[in-house]
Structure 1
């Protein structure tokens, strides 16, 4: 595969066009962070307000990934990615033309939906690559696309400065940034690429069936026990939004009565999601349908992958947010030096995520690969928790890069398994697993923000307390990863056909071979027609 990858034909063309679509969604999603100081200065925002915008940027990504997964399974990745990329222009333009804080806040909430684009490409790549190559292909898609956040950080300030034509702030003497045109431009470029994407990709290779569930309103399970397990695992998806609402209330965005209204709405959202899951699995739960053995899958496998993505991608988003300040405070570095060193963590994505997928393809056991990488991540975080101002800086950088490799390789290994669980609901599985990554990020960042207050007894944290909080934070992530690693070893199962030579669905009857039509799976046999064992 590595030798053919640059041919830009067939499935490799699809791979490159798709990872670049993901890359653009991350440029759009993270276009505020490198321009935040200029936005703050132009609007006279307080620190709490600019942090509120950062939180709102990820708030709707959790439900958006679930909804996008449903739409993806029903309509296919080509249409879904095109519409999402075109949608990106709307909140970008609203943000760029905002005249007050409320308009900024609403547009950032809407922009969080763009962060769900990752899910779409997971299924597109899975449709084009056989199981034996799925790990590397998904790793390239995820790792290279994920680099969009780093690309935004490095390029957008320079572009915004160029668009300001060298204007200088008379009060500070610093160069002004034309952040409005820059942010609007990222959305417009994404929308134009969405149109280009639509006319240059197909949902699946010729002669292959695009499998989709009969009902995409909720994840299809194959046993009654798994239905209740599904409802249990859906609780954190709404629960973390309740935590997020509480944090926004703590920042003074609204009062306690509004918080209760938001919480009531989120409880209703969970109940609505549970109802949709019931609709999707009603025949199973009422005994009208029974799945044959070769069409069943264990939802516990999805649950474990949700937890692996919680601890790897969730911790990555959290660490990227705090690592510059950690190096600056621990080793007495300038902000620029600390930022450059901390960027090595994100830069590892270019190699680590594809590397994790490749390892998963080559070692012959995706289960053991997942367990080893997750354990390595946990050990890495525990070592990072031991770093202090007496540590040797070069060793700390090497340790950070080593830990980063295991984190991002673990992400690649996770999505080397996701498309192999149950093909016709890959979008929904990827959506739920991806959403758990954001659940982990919000959970870790919330704990990180509260640790100094907890350890300091509510007083203003001293440098010593901040150091203790950093240590506790890394140790928490390390212990969580070690626990999940053992879950992988003892409960994760090797997916059927993990290293098959051909795509699923290639050998369907000729009557089904229509590239332009999305075919549904044939109806399941009723319970009475299935021989009982």
Structure 2
């Protein structure tokens, strides 16, 4: 596959078009961060307001990934991805031409839905690549697409300066950035690509049927015990939205009465989600339906994958947010130097995530790959907790890159397993696992923001307290990863047909008389 990967036909065309769709969705999702200073100056915003916008940028991604997963399984990735990319232009343009802070908040909340695009490509790639190659294919999709956030950081300030035609601020002499047209432009490009994507991809290879769930209202489980496990694992998905609501109240976006209404609405959201899951599994829960041994899957496997994505992707988003300030405060570096060094963490995505998928394909055990990579990540974070000003800077950079490899390779390994759990509900499983990544990010970032206050006894934190908070933060993520690594080792099971030529469902169809066409088999070769 590695040699054939550079082709632009058949399944490789689908892979390249799909990772670029994900790339653009991340450019749009992260288009505010590199232009935040200019936006802050234009509106005269306080630092707390900029941080509020950053929170809004991820606020609705958690429920969006679950909803997108349901729509994806029902309607297919072709139409779902195309519409999401076209939708991205609307909040982008509204944000770009906002007149006040309220409009910025609303449009950023709407833009947070675009972060759900990731789960769509997971199923699209799984439809076109066989189990034995799914790790590398999903790794390329995730790793190269995820680079969109770094691309936005590197290109948007230059683009905004170019659009401003070299204008400078007469008071400071600094170049002005036309951030409005730069941000609007990313949305328009995404919308145009959405239309292009629709006319150039198909949900499945020729002659292959797209498998849809029996109900898209909630995840289908195969035992009554798994239903209650599902209800338990859905609690953090709503709980983290409550944390976000509390954070927005704390920065003064609204008062206690509004917070109470929001919390009650979130309780209602959980109950509504629980009702939909009940509806999807009603016959099972009432004893009217039983699944054969061949049809069953263990929801515990989904739960473990949710936890792995919590600790790997969740920690990645958190570390990317704090790493520039960490290097600037620990070593004698200016902001630009610290930012460039910290960017090595994100750049590793180009290699690490596909590398994790490839290792999962070649090692012969997806379970053991997941456990080893997660353990390596935990050890890496624990070592980063010991980094201080006495360290050699080069050693700290190499440790950061090594830790980043295990984090992102673990992400690739996670989604090398997701499509193999239960084919027809891959979108919903990917949505829930992906949502847990955002749950982890919000949880880690919330703890990170509160650690200096906790350790400093509520006083303004000194540099020593901030350094201590960084140490505790890395140690916390390291311990969490080690715990999840042991869960993978002892409780994660090797999916059936992990390295087969065809998915188990396809083989079962052949057994009962539905043969895969020769044209389809040729696509998989």
TM-score, reference length from structure 2: 0.97
On the 8 A contact 1:122/1:430 being kept in 2, the answer is yes
Q: Tell me which residue corresponds to 2:522.
A: none
Q: Distance in 2 between matches of 1:86 and 1:351?
A: 29
Q: Tell me which residue corresponds to 2:444.
A: 444
Q: Tell me which residue corresponds to 1:186.
A: 186
Query: After superposition, where does 1:74-473 map in structure 2 within 5 Å?
Result: 74-473=74-473
On the 8 A contact 2:423/2:505 being kept in 1, the answer is no
Give a deviation string over 1:447-496, Cα, whole Å, max 9, x none.
00000000000000000000000000000000000000000000000000
Q: Distance in 1 between matches of 2:505 and 2:428?
A: 19
Q: How far is the alpha carbon of 1:502 from its aligned partner?
A: 2.3
2:294 is paired with a residue of what secondary structure? Answer: helix
Q: Distance in 1 between matches of 2:3 and 2:139?
A: 16
Q: Distance in 2 between matches of 1:506 and 1:316?
A: 36
Extract unaligned runs of 5+ from structure 1.
515-533
Q: Tell me which residue corresponds to 1:498.
A: 498
Tell whether 2:29 aligns with 1:23: no
Q: How far is the alpha carbon of 1:512 from its aligned partner?
A: 9.0
Q: How far is the alpha carbon of 1:212 from its aligned partner?
A: 1.1
Q: Distance in 1 between matches of 2:484 and 2:235?
A: 19
Q: How far is the alpha carbon of 1:207 from its aligned partner?
A: 2.1
Give a deviation string over 1:241-283, Cα, whole Å, max 9, x none.
0011111111111111111111000010000000000000000
Q: How far is the alpha carbon of 1:501 from its aligned partner?
A: 1.2
Q: Distance in 1 between matches of 2:505 and 2:499?
A: 15
TM-score, reference length from structure 1: 0.95
Q: How far is the alpha carbon of 1:353 from its aligned partner?
A: 0.1
On the 8 A contact 1:127/1:503 being kept in 2, the answer is no
On the 8 A contact 1:207/1:506 being kept in 2, the answer is no
Q: Tell me which residue corresponds to 2:66.
A: 66
Q: Distance in 1 between matches of 2:505 and 2:272?
A: 33
CA RMSD of aligned residues (A): 1.1
Q: How far is the alpha carbon of 1:332 from its aligned partner?
A: 2.2
Extract unaligned runs of 5+ from structure 2.
518-525
On the 8 A contact 1:86/1:190 being kept in 2, the answer is yes
Matched pairs, number: 514
Give a deviation string over 1:329-367, Cα, whole Å, max 9, x none.
000210000000000000000000000000000000000
2:243 is paired with a residue of what secondary structure? Answer: helix
Q: Distance in 2 between matches of 1:464 and 1:159?
A: 39
On the 8 A contact 1:249/1:259 being kept in 2, the answer is yes
On the 8 A contact 1:59/1:241 being kept in 2, the answer is yes
